[in-house]
Amino acid sequence: MKKIAVLTSGGDAPGMNAAARAVVRTAIYNGIEVYGIYQGYKGMLEGNIKKLEVGDVGNIINRGGTFLGSARLPEFADPEVRKEAIKNLEEIGIEGLVVIGGDGSYKGATKLSQEMNIKTIGIPGTIDNDIYGTDFTIGFDTALNTIIESIDKIRDTASSHDRVFVIEVMGRHAGDLALFAGIAGGAESVMIPEQKDTLEQVMERVNNAEKRGKKHSIIVLAEGVMSGAELSNKLKEQFGLESRYTTLGHVQRGGSPSAMDRVLASRLGNYAVDLLMEGISGKAVGIRDNKLVTTDFEDIFNATEHEIDLNLCEVSKQLGI
Ligand code: F6P
């Protein structure tokens, strides 16, 4: 393997820069030329590709977002579009590709390796922590810390006014951010898509907190269940409960990556290049029980349901959340 490329795709996540940095530096350390593809598959199609040196990835480990940029390109599903993109890779002589992103990004990589002689490895980068085959994705820890900071601040005003607050966090299909944030933020209730809690159950937890003498409550809601506005309205209509809601939104995707995300990204980026050098392809790297692992792209595509940590659900239940 003489030349590889790296791109970031899909929603950005803090720590993607650290992962790209690790890919670039590991490749160069091993005598491999490495190219950055800017704006994901869009940049591949448009030939927005640049050779990277060690210095090009200096001063980025601490930065959120992705210096390579990211874009959504639904047209990449079209084989004719991919043909054009492949030409750009073949012109440079790219033999391996590291894709940092989610399973949608891995699908593009799979198509490429079927249509050209290229080896592909995926690195899981998304704040949602919803990629099969890894305990944690890059960006999850940072987003979680951003949420906790917000919960702590909202609790200050909630307790001053004896109010109930609904805090809507990201996670279209996955409740990890909400569940972890609920536990770490000492929430009174959590609603996640994987557990179909009823509004009655949520009310019961709020009431239990009140019985314990707590005059304010925090309900952490994953966006995949419903919106904060919707939940707040329903609580009013069905139970006469007055509440305020806050949607944290894209603030959760930004910011300097946490130390845990930086280390995870560095390990995964380094491992991805090792695998390409061994000639391995069609797999995503990940971490399980603190060990680096790989999962076939196909297994990731077939895993339709996101798995929530059931032990953690039990912990939250026993803590009255
Ligand atoms: O990165 C994942 C995610 O943050 C989801 O939780 C959220 O619903 C979505 O991305 C938002 O994406 P977009 O930036 O396209 O609005």
Q: Tens of pLDDT along the chain (321 residues)?
A: 999 999 999 999 999 999 999 999 999 999 999 999 999 999 999 999 999 999 999 999 999 999 999 998 889 999 999 999 999 999 999 999 999 999 999 999 999 999 999 999 999 999 999 999 999 999 999 999 999 999 999 999 999 999 999 999 999 999 999 999 999 999 999 999 999 899 999 999 999 999 999 999 999 999 999 999 999 999 999 999 999 999 999 999 999 999 999 999 999 999 999 999 999 999 999 999 999 999 999 999 999 888 899 999 999 999 989
28 SS3 class:
helix
Instruction: Specify the pLDDT at position 70.
Output: 94
The rounded distance, in Å, linking the Cα atoms of 67 and 70 is 9
The position carrying tokens 């299909």 is 173
Q: Report yes or no: 19 and 268 within 8 Å, Cβ to Cβ.
A: yes
Instruction: Specify the pLDDT at position 72.
Output: 83
Give CA 57 to chain center in angstroms. 21
Q: Report yes or no: 246 and 169 within 8 Å, Cβ to Cβ.
A: no
Ligand 1: which residue has its CA nearest to atom 13? 11
Instruction: Specify the pLDDT at position 196.
Output: 87
Ligand 1: which residue has its CA nearest to atom 4? 170
Strand ranges (E), the chain: 3-8, 33-37, 49-52, 96-101, 119-124, 164-169, 189-191, 217-222, 243-247, 283-288, 291-296
Instruction: Specify the pLDDT at position 306.
Output: 87
Ligand 1 centroid to residue 250 C-alpha, Å: 8
For residue 249 and ligand 1, the question of a CB distance below 6 A is answered with: no
Instruction: Specify the pLDDT at position 319.
Output: 93
Instruction: Specify the pLDDT at position 304.
Output: 80
- Which DSSP symbol is given to 222? E
